[in-house]
Amino acid sequence: MSRGVLLLVLAALIAGSLPDVFAGSTASLMGVGYYVDYDAASRATVQVHGEHLDWVITTNYEVDGRGTLRGTHDATIVEEARSRGAKVQFRVINAGVSRDVVHRVLTRSNNRRRFEDGIVRILTTYGYDGVNVDLENIAPDDRPALTAFMTRLAARVQDRYFDTTDSP
């Protein structure tokens, strides 16, 4: 089974089975799946199991050291996910999973502003429901800068969009 299919199926299974485990709990669980554009089976999984997902996260953007976002919008997968009741986030990863890229984006105000503006532009241009900021390989000294960045981004998008981060 491909990684994309496995991620979506796992999320669907968790979404369908965990509520019984927590019967009587006031907690609410969400099913989340990652769609990957390099695996055709990933789209098929959204089509077949999408009704079990609350969120589908696409994996189609990266940020360079100047804070510029590059990637493509896939309207088809957004439509597929929404037609099954899921909301859609786009995912942003640092180019090359580079520690230097993350450092330059988070610690230089022009780069940070360009990155934040790019996220907001993609959210508004393509109508995503949110963004998943997946900056990896962050130096421990840069973690406060990540927290500050996410705080500013959340303040900008909180009224309309949902933002998440994957912990380094």
Query: What is the per-residue pLDDT across 111-151, written as a single tens digit (0 to 9) for each?
Result: 999 999 999 999 999 999 999 999 999 999 999 999 999 99
Buried b (16+ CB within 10 A) or exposed e, 12-37: bebbeeeeeeeeeeeeeeebbbbbbe
- Taking alpha carbons only, the member of 150, 153, 162 closest to residue 54 is 162
More reliable by pLDDT, 60 or 66: 66
Q: Which range has the worst mean pLDDT, 13-17, 63-67, 89-93? A: 13-17
Please report which confidence band the pLDDT of residue 9 belongs to, taking 50, 70 and 90 as the band edges: very low
Report field, pTM of the whole predicted structure over 0.85: no
Please report which confidence band the pLDDT of residue 19 belongs to, taking 50, 70 and 90 as the band edges: very low
Residue 27's pLDDT is 53
| Average model confidence (pLDDT) across the chain | 83
Q: Is the pLDDT of residue 17 over 50?
A: no
Q: Are the CB atoms for 33 and 55 separated by under 8 Å?
A: yes
Q: What is the mean pLDDT of residues 65-83?
A: 94
Question: How far is residue 38 CA from its own chain's centroid?
Answer: 16
